[in-house]
Structure 1
Amino acid sequence: MTKMQTSAAQAVALMDLTTLNDSDTTQTINNLVASIEPTLGIPAAVCVYSQFVSDAKLALAERELQQVKVATVTNFPSGEQSLEQVLNETLFAIERGADEIDLVIPYKALIAGDERKVLEYVKASKEACGTQAQLKVIIESGELSDDLIATATKLAIDGGADFVKTSTGKVAVNATLAATDIMLSTIKASGKKVGFKAAGGVRTVTDAAEYLALAESIMGEAYLQPELFRFGASGLLKDVYATLNES
């Protein structure tokens, strides 16, 4: 196996295979699950809108891929819903079988100086998740200054996040290595066992390899496991499988 194939095999196991488009249908979700080739590698999760969680669960069960988690998003993508809406959405998603909730923080409030609101959304969402679902907190790093990326990451950790995630994939700048460096360094400094998810713009095995190398340099090799490190991606799987198919 080449070095690039090793990275590809690692990346697929850490992937949240994602479709979050307004045009999504049950067929979209079925096609997403059908794109998984177990002999080449199985992703950690699929990430879909809340109304498709049960469809994803069913499609995975039909292929005997129940080990693949189903993630969904809340307060997505603008981070501007009321806390009541966010919590209702969270509870509905868990009822439908969601294993992971990816919450967008009210990042515009953070930019305006309201750290308290961010902490409130994270804490309340974590409480709503209880023991039934993990909470992954999206800080929308591409919209934040370096200082605010660190602040948002710290607030997410303080609020009880299981993971801190870069982006929604719906703004001009999504995951970057620079933001990843800040976020992972902040996680490390906290001393807590918190995961990291790079989302948006990670499209090739070469891209993924850069993130894996950076994460390993900051957090150590043991961090590169699905319980602690994820990629949120839609196009990455195709390149991963193509790389693994190379003789």
Structure 2
Amino acid sequence: MTASPMLSPQDEAGIARRAIPLLDLTDLGDACRASAIDTLCRAAREGSVAAVCVWPQFVGQCLRGLHGDPIAVATVVNFPTGGEDIERTVEDTVQALRDGAQEIDLVMPYGALLRGELAPVRDMIQAVREVCDQGQPLKVILETGVLGNSEPIAEASRIALESGADFIKTSTGKTAVSATPEAAEVMLKAIRDHGSGGLKISGGLKTVANAATYLSLADGIMGPGWATPKTMRLGASSLYADLARARDAVP
């Protein structure tokens, strides 16, 4: 991630207060247990974040643990490998929605895109969009660290948005390279050019300075005030602790 300018405690507190409502507080660890989900839900309620994002088997537990708070429960499908089995992915999505998932994070079949086979990419996104028929937000994960440079990231962004994605998301957090400001800039420009859509940054977000970098990018490309929970999310497992520290340091 590119270096961020030094921030005063007042700057950090302001960024934290902007960023916390945008959080998709996440636990997609391979060893995730029910006790960790309870902790996640407590932190989500304390912070009044936008959503929690968990493995499908924990959706029901999150719904109970959030006690009716207006925090969405998101889950993942076709995750993390970005396979090409559309039927299986649709079945998993339908089951997640039956279990009460309110947002779906779908991994694009990015291998097909890299081979130049665009039809399977469009078909999967459109098929999942169709089963999210009650308006559940669909976030499409591009896996930008694997796509690599700006051209395939821009193409993936366009295809996802044209196929019905509500958000385009940088990464699963499971690859060597996750979110980068360079990828986020390409994605924001695609959203701007498309005329609608949101951005989710995921993978490697740990500090207030990281959040500041992406908020500054969004402000510069989309305009101040664009970044709200309906248009921008920050997906992270450990970022909340640093944001809460900064928020609480300045009354």
Decide whether the 8 Å contact of 1:13 with 1:226 is kept in 2.
yes
Q: In the TM superposition, what is the alpha-carbon distance from 1:37 to its structure 2 partner?
A: 5.9
Report the TM-score when normalising by structure 1: 0.95
Amino acid at match of 2:121: V
Alignment of 1:136-147 (within 5 A): 136-144=139-147, 145-147=149-151
Give the one of 150, 157, 162 matched to 1:153: 157
Give the one of 195, 200, 211 matched to 1:197: 200
Q: In the TM superposition, what is the alpha-carbon distance from 1:35 to its structure 2 partner?
A: 2.4
* In the alignment, structure 1 residue 175 sits paired with structure 2 residue 179: yes
Q: In the TM superposition, what is the alpha-carbon distance from 1:31 to its structure 2 partner?
A: 1.2
**Aligned mates of 2:116, 2:219 — CA distance in 1:** 33
Instruction: From the superposition, tell whether residues 37 and 69 of structure 1 become closer, same or farther in structure 2 (CA, over 3 Å).
Output: closer
Aligned-partner SS, 2:25: strand
**Aligned mates of 2:54, 2:119 — CA distance in 1:** 29
Aligned-partner SS, 2:15: helix
Q: In the TM superposition, what is the alpha-carbon distance from 1:83 to its structure 2 partner?
A: 0.6
Decide whether the 8 Å contact of 2:160 with 2:168 is kept in 1.
yes
Alignment of 1:15-30 (within 5 A): 15-30=23-38
Aligned-partner SS, 1:222: coil
Decide whether the 8 Å contact of 1:94 with 1:132 is kept in 2.
no
Q: In the TM superposition, what is the alpha-carbon distance from 1:115 to its structure 2 partner?
A: 1.0
* In the alignment, structure 1 residue 114 sits paired with structure 2 residue 117: yes
Aligned-partner SS, 2:32: coil
- Return 5+ residue gaps in structure 1 as ranges: none
Aligned-partner SS, 2:225: helix
Q: In the TM superposition, what is the alpha-carbon distance from 1:132 to its structure 2 partner?
A: 4.5
* In the alignment, structure 1 residue 75 sits paired with structure 2 residue 78: yes
Give the one of 211, 217, 220 matched to 1:214: 217
Q: In the TM superposition, what is the alpha-carbon distance from 1:143 to its structure 2 partner?
A: 0.6
Q: In the TM superposition, what is the alpha-carbon distance from 1:36 to its structure 2 partner?
A: 3.6
Q: In the TM superposition, what is the alpha-carbon distance from 1:34 to its structure 2 partner?
A: 1.8
Decide whether the 8 Å contact of 1:141 with 1:149 is kept in 2.
yes
**Aligned mates of 2:99, 2:184 — CA distance in 1:** 32
* In the alignment, structure 1 residue 35 sits paired with structure 2 residue 43: yes
Match of 1:102 in 2: 105
When the two structures are aligned, how many residues end up with a matched partner? Answer: 241
Report the TM-score when normalising by structure 2: 0.93
Amino acid at match of 2:28: L
Decide whether the 8 Å contact of 2:44 with 2:52 is kept in 1.
no
**Aligned mates of 1:22, 1:141 — CA distance in 2:** 21
Q: In the TM superposition, what is the alpha-carbon distance from 1:75 to its structure 2 partner?
A: 0.3
Instruction: From the superposition, tell whether residues 206 and 16 of structure 1 become closer, same or farther in structure 2 (CA, over 3 Å).
Output: same
* In the alignment, structure 1 residue 49 sits paired with structure 2 residue 52: no
Percent of residue pairs identical: 41
Runs of 4+ in 1 over 4 A off after TM superposition: none
